[in-house]
Amino acid sequence: MKFGREKRKAAPSVIIVSLIDVLIVVLIFLMVTTHFKNREASLKLALPESKEARQGSSTDSKPFTVLVATNFPFFWIETKPVTLERLQNELVIAAKANPKVAVAIKADKNAPFGEVIKVIDAAKVAQVGSINAITEKPATAR
């Protein structure tokens, strides 16, 4: 005998709309943070100082700048790390496009000297117009 009413239990339900809202917020957050991650400087160099450092000529075309870091990967073109072989190929392509292209080497003062010499050798093999080193003037004492 059943004297009480039998209560039906409702099946548990998940509110899908709230979950979708949360996922959209997470997706927007990830999209924004990865967009700004690329804006950060990828390589910071401490340039060597030179008392004879000169300002570059504004009449020249933009030089082909190679950055040499203190640790692996040593060679960078703009914000992309490259191998020595890739650097050699890029220099050959630039020299074929413009035989008077200037190569500017921007090397950290603590970078291995052998890696800087490899860049100079690669530029000579590519037969570029000129090879320059980028330095900065020493800070004047006040």
Q: Tens of pLDDT along 75-116?
A: 999 889 999 999 999 999 999 999 999 999 999 999 999 999
Q: What is the pLDDT of residue 3?
A: 65
Q: What is the pLDDT of residue 4?
A: 62
Query: Average pLDDT, whole number, for the chain?
Result: 85
- pLDDT (tens digit per residue) in 35-58: 766 554 567 788 888 887 777 654
Domain range 64-133, its CATH number among 1.10.101.10, 3.30.460.80, 3.30.420.270, 1.10.10.10: 3.30.420.270
Residue 21 has pLDDT above 80, yes or no: yes
More confident residue, 34 or 71: 71
Q: What is the pLDDT of residue 28?
A: 93
Average of pLDDT values for 69-75?
92
pTM above 0.75, yes or no: no
Q: How is residue 66 written in tokens? A: 């190679």
With vertex at residue 141, the alpha carbon angle to CA 138 and CA 142, rounded to the nearest 5 degrees, is 145
